[in-house]
Amino acid sequence: MRKFGAVLTAGIAATMLTIAAPASAAVESKPELPEHIHGGTWPTSHLQGVALDEANGHMYWSFTQMLVKTDLEGNLIGTVEGLTGHLGDLDFNAKDGRIYGSLEYKAEEAFYIAIFDGRKIDRVGMDAETDGVLSTVHLDEVVADYTADMDGDGQFDGDTADTADHRYGCSGIDGVAFGPEFGKSGGKQKLMVAYGVYSNTERADNDHQVILEYDVANWRKYERPLRQDEPHRSGPKEPGGKYFAYTGNTTYGVQNLEYDAYTGNWFMAVYEGEKEQFPNYSFFMVDGSAEPQRGEIVGQPEPEEGELLSLVEDGLHDPESGTYGWEFHGDYGIVSLDNGYYYFAEGGPVEEDGPVEEDGPVEENGQAKEDGEVYLHEWTGEAPAPFTKVRESAK
Ligand SMILES: [Ca+2]
Ligand SMILES: [Ca+2]
Ligand SMILES: [Ca+2]
């Protein structure tokens, strides 16, 4: 499904830079966390995101239609099931101890932040609607951009990439993360929500990642139980901020978003884009120390201004498009431990007795399952990949 061919070409053509060590200096001593955690094997779509509750020793895993809770040895504690939409990336909110994730119902034109009360998840097979562990807040802003009739023909073309519709190419939402406001290193933690963006090489208005900012401190009044047969619309009318990062078009936008207090930057893992005029990197960093700048959101049908974010100017560089990035696959889950160590997720289709090829016979006999796990990584700051796996053998 993913295309790796263009990546190699881009990597060779790009200028290699050496990244400076972050201001916080050397990597701290290795944390007392396992180097590998297995999230299990589930009859769902693939792993979409992970969230760590370090204080309580719990890991949460988004398997698209199911939330899984394990301890840090990978022992199963519980699951929340019955999601008919798309549960995407997650993050843990240290302030209220809950897990926030993106949840899409494209046919119903409903886009939510799903809020799981992890403390109440204590058994396998809990129901997303009726067991009181999940509340949802609707995001009107996403609906407005997703459903925009951009070519003005009076028709909204729905869930397809092959159209001029969807403002900024918005396909919904996926990456979510808590962190400080852009341009700040501390202060109130805001929830940042990144758009999915369809891959389409025929239009010029889809070359930005779009990030909405919300203050969830007053969200209790909006929270409602999930009702999938009757989607509610309770939520903030507008985001607290809306930001644009020029990366070139990607395939479904920011898969995983994470704030890294160690470097002070925001990580964006994407499935590579296909436009020839871009290097189509798989990993970008937004400079968290840079104040957003008011400027033109290039490529829009009518000239439009917005709050523009700055990419970290390191790693790989493509002078023609002016973009910077890295080659690293964090699409299935990222947790920054905020000390130079990270969990990155991996996963894929498996059979009971071992891995199988994607699109292999297991897909046909209806026994396909998806496996998910995370591995501890360490910051290197190098290019093309700025992280390296912490290996058991290095102990
Ligand atoms: Ca249209
Ligand atoms: Ca995803
Ligand atoms: Ca995240």
CATH number at residue 88: 2.115.10
| pLDDT score at 382 | 97
Tell me the CA–centroid distance for residue 256 and ligand 3, in Å: 5
Which ligand sits closest to the CA of 90? Answer: 3
Residues 6+ apart with CB under 8 A from 319: 15
Which ligand sits closest to the CA of 266? Answer: 3
pTM for the predicted model, two decimal places: 0.90
How buried is residue 261: exposed, middle or buried, by Cβ count under 10 Å (0-12/13-18/19+)?
A: middle
In sequence order, the β-bridge partners of residue 71 are 58
Tell me the CA–centroid distance for residue 304 and ligand 1, in Å: 20
Tell me the CA–centroid distance for residue 340 and ligand 2, in Å: 24
Tell me the CA–centroid distance for residue 266 and ligand 3, in Å: 10
Which ligand sits closest to the CA of 156? Answer: 1
Tell me the CA–centroid distance for residue 48 and ligand 3, in Å: 9
Tell me the CA–centroid distance for residue 103 and ligand 2, in Å: 11
In this predicted structure, the answer to whether residue 368 has a pLDDT above a threshold of 90 is: no
In this predicted structure, the answer to whether residue 11 has a pLDDT above a threshold of 60 is: no
> Could you tell me the pLDDT band of residue 143, with boundaries at 50, 70 and 90?
very high
| pLDDT score at 352 | 62
Which ligand sits closest to the CA of 347? Answer: 2
Which ligand sits closest to the CA of 192? Answer: 3
Tell me the CA–centroid distance for residue 113 and ligand 3, in Å: 12
Tell me the CA–centroid distance for residue 40 and ligand 2, in Å: 18
| pLDDT score at 160 | 97
Average pLDDT of every residue of the chain? 91
Which ligand sits closest to the CA of 147? Answer: 1
Tell me the CA–centroid distance for residue 48 and ligand 2, in Å: 5
pLDDT, average across residues 346-370: 67
Q: Which protein residues have a CB closer than 5 Å to ligand 3 (ion)?
A: 89, 91, 177, 258
Tell me the CA–centroid distance for residue 140 and ligand 1, in Å: 19
Q: Which protein residues have a CB closer than 5 Å to ligand 2 (ion)?
A: 48, 88, 174, 255
Q: Say how far apart CA 32 and CA 26 lie, in whole Å.
A: 18
Q: Which domain holds residue 159?
A: 5-394
User: Which element (helix H / strand E) includes 144?
Assistant: helix 140-146
Which residue carries 């910077």 as its tokens? Answer: 324
How buried is residue 157: exposed, middle or buried, by Cβ count under 10 Å (0-12/13-18/19+)?
A: middle
Number of domains within the chain = 1
Tell me the CA–centroid distance for residue 220 and ligand 2, in Å: 26
Tell me the CA–centroid distance for residue 154 and ligand 2, in Å: 30
Q: What is the pLDDT of residues 259-284, one digit of tens each?
A: 999 999 999 999 999 999 999 999 99
Tell me the CA–centroid distance for residue 324 and ligand 1, in Å: 33
Which ligand sits closest to the CA of 91? Answer: 3
> Could you tell me the pLDDT band of residue 10, with boundaries at 50, 70 and 90?
very low
pLDDT, average across residues 214-243: 98
Q: What is the pLDDT of residues 79-110, one digit of tens each?
A: 999 999 999 999 999 999 999 999 999 999 99
Residues 6+ apart with CB under 8 A from 243: 182, 210, 211, 212, 213, 292, 306, 307, 308, 309
User: From start to end of 183-273, where are the E strands?
Assistant: 190-197, 208-214, 224-225, 241-246, 251-260, 265-271
Which ligand sits closest to the CA of 152? Answer: 1
